[in-house]
Amino acid sequence: MNGFVLLYVYPKIGHVYPVYPEQSEVINHLNQKYMATFKATIKKQRADGLYTVYIRVTHQRKTSYIKTDKIVDAAHITQNGDLTDPVVNEYCSMLIRQYTDRLNRVNAASWEIKDVMEYLFNTEEEACFSDYARTFITKMENGRHERTAKNYKLAVNHLERFMGTNRIMFSILTSSALTLWIENMSLTNRAKEMYPTCIRQIFKKALIELNDEERGIMRIKFNPWLKVAIPKSDTTIKRAISAEACREFFNRPLPATKMISSLPELGRDVALLSLCIGGINSVDLYELKKKDYNNGIIGYKRAKTRHSRRDEAYIEMRIEPFIQSTFDKYLSEEDDEYLFNFHKRYGNSDSFNANVNIGIRKICKDMGMKKEDCYCFYTFRHTWATIAQNDCGANIYEVAFGMNHSHGFNVTRGYVKMDFTPAWELNAKIIDFIFFSNKKSKQGKALDFEAPKDALFRISPKRMIYGRAYFKGEVVAELTDIGFSNVDEVIARLVKQLPKDIPTGCNVQFRLTNCDTQKEAVYERSKGKGF
């Protein structure tokens, strides 16, 4: 034998056996034992009496079937189950040759039957980007990333409209085709960056899931994104408005409406809640549960970033007395798990946000503003941040903290039990600046943070009360006196001093100070409802 030895690797468990030339039949035996085999066959009879033809795949003593589009009748089936139709047999032989050829290109000896079937199916059918994208988005929605999934859905829909089909194949997504699509969005502000980024992420995931280079599975033949440049979105326009504009917006009569539930009233109230609760997002307001509100404090995880931050974007904000009446106005029924009743009128947070924006725009239109200058809900979140920094002396990190941005300390916030009182204090300053000052002055705090709740503000006939009424930040009524038993008596006295030309429906702010204890409280009343 001249020392010549063949080595055979037992495919299932990796054992190595020496095989001499005269023992080559051992190799044939093992190959036959562990190589997939194919045969045209039928299964059960159909209701019409015919039989669907299948390709039976046998691998490692396990069987699976590949359905064909061919049928035979009982006359072309032998007692052993063999097919005698020459056309069908020729077609099945062609398929079997194709399957065998594919398997011969890879080492499938150690595969299980499911691996063989996956390989045959995946290499047989061209991959569809649209189908994969929809599966990708569904998984994202099921993982409670609904708002992110919405952006991905918008991106896929836009691409399909541009391509003119809702069944985009991976093969047509060339670098040149994608570049043309991106150029088509050149006049957009955000879509030209956001949409391609979403599509690229889907493509990246598909390359991992649909291709398997180790097994020779390459359903996606190329990655076009290596040659595609994604432009940057335009710089976000600062949508903040001044304190003077805020005073004008919140201290004016609501436009008349025939609706039972006034959208302008909803828009104004929700905008006020956002402005006075640290710029809270509409989706977070909508999703608040009763369990999130305890002892005058709401604690919630910001929907936009809770899945991407170690601390789950959790924040606590105190409800200032100034907005307590507006806050209570929308509280849900006792047996409702939601904190507010917004979900009773609006099916989801997107619908809620859309209606809030409609209401805000109606007020802006009534103010004589042009369409392009109208405010939106996010205007007031931007305003909170801008006034905090420009007018209340907060630095960028304090603003970010109050708005529940990670501001570069995402990891750290995951380890530290946060004290949110600095955010509350900043929020109080902002309320104070907007509603209890004019553009030239700034007065005190909206709340005494050191005092317990029951000691914040008390009225008795023997205590001196200093009261002021504000309209658009200006003091329009003032008193200092004793003999008051409750807050309403003080406000009623101040109301008598108010200018007669304040329109019905306008809000007036009241600040009351107990001169003996130096405690303060703030309130808001609407002409025609509160006084």
Tokens 């432009």 -> residue: 231
- In a domain, residue 448? The reply is no
Same-domain status, 207 and 60: no
Q: How far is CA 223 from CA 162, 219, 431, 446, 466, in A?
A: 20, 11, 53, 58, 72
Give the tens place of pLDDT for each residue, 302-359.
877 666 666 677 888 999 989 999 999 999 998 899 999 999 988 888 889 889 999 9
Same domain (yes/no): 305, 321: yes
Q: What per-residue confidence (pLDDT) applies to 167?
A: 85
Phi, psi torsion values for 91, nearest 5 degrees? -65, -45
Give kind and range of the element (H or E) at residue 7. strand 6-9
Residues of the domain holding 168: 129-227
pLDDT of residue 504: 87
**Per-residue pLDDT, 307:** 63
Q: What's residue 417's pLDDT?
A: 55
Residue 521 sits in a domain of what CATH number?
Answer: 2.60.40
- Of 204, 153, 159, 154, the C-alpha closest to 181 is 159
Does residue 429 share a domain with residue 322? yes
Residue 18's alpha-carbon distances to 5, 8, 24, in angstroms, are: 6, 6, 11
Instruction: Provide the pLDDT for residue 271.
Output: 94
Q: How far is the C-alpha of 369 from the C-alpha of 43, rounded, in Å?
A: 74
Task: Please give the Cα distance from 328 to 296 (Å, whole number).
Answer: 11
Least confident of 25-34, 340-349, 515-524: 25-34
Assess contact for 459 and 490: CB atoms under 8 A. Answer: yes
Q: Does any domain span residue 18?
A: no
Is 440 part of any domain?
Answer: no
Domain boundary among 89, 107, 124: 124
Q: Same domain for 422 and 502?
A: no
Of the spans 154-158, 444-448, 511-515, which averages the highest pLDDT?
154-158
**Domain membership flag for residue 3:** no
CA 463 – CA 392 distance, rounded (Å): 32
Res 424: pLDDT: 85
Same domain (yes/no): 458, 390: no
Q: Where a domain ends, among 200, 227, 254? A: 227
- In a domain, residue 137? The reply is yes
Averaged confidence pLDDT in the chain: 81
Q: Are both 169 and 249 inside the same structural domain? A: no
Looking at the domain assignment, is residue 24 inside a domain? no
pLDDT, residue 203, reads: 93
Confidence grade of residue 272 (pLDDT, cut at 50, 70, 90):
very high
422: in domain: yes
| DSSP β-ladder status, 507-514 and 314-318 | unpaired
Residues 156 and 171 in one domain: yes
Domain boundary among 90, 124, 158: 124
Apex 35 CA angle, 34 and 36, nearest 5: 120
Residues 355 and 282 reside in one and the same domain? yes
How many independent structural domains does the chain possess? 4
Do residues 250 and 168 both lie within one domain?
A: no
Q: What is the pLDDT of residues 206-235, one digit of tens each?
A: 998 888 776 667 778 889 999 999 998 876
- Tokens linked to 485: 């038993």
Q: Verify that 69 and 179 share a domain, yes or no.
A: no
Residue 450 has pLDDT above 70, yes or no: no
3-state secondary structure of 145: coil
**Residue 293: burial class (beta carbons within 10 Å; 0-12, 13-18, 19+):** middle
Confidence of residue 236 (pLDDT cuts 50, 70, 90): low
Q: Which two tokens stand for residue 233?
A: 């979105």
* pLDDT per position as a tens digit, 394-447: 877 788 878 777 654 454 444 445 678 888 888 888 888 888 887 533 433 444
Query: pTM value?
Result: 0.58
Between 96-100, 236-240, 441-445, 521-525, the lowest mean confidence (pLDDT) is in 441-445
Q: Lowest-confidence range among 94-98, 161-165, 412-416, 457-461?
A: 412-416
Task: Say whether pLDDT at 9 is over 60.
Answer: no
Q: State whether 252 and 365 are in the same domain.
A: yes
Query: Is residue 457's pLDDT more than 90?
Result: no
- Distance, CA of 90 to CA of 53 (rounded, Å): 13
**7, 13, 16, 144, 288 from 28: Cα distances, Å:** 13, 18, 16, 54, 69
Q: If DSSP codes are grouped into helix, strand and coil, which group holds residue 479?
A: strand
The mean pLDDT value for 478-489 works out to 89
CATH at residue 249: 1.10.443
Q: Are residues 98 and 171 in the same domain?
A: no
Domain-located, residue 233: no
**What is the per-residue pLDDT for 267?**
93
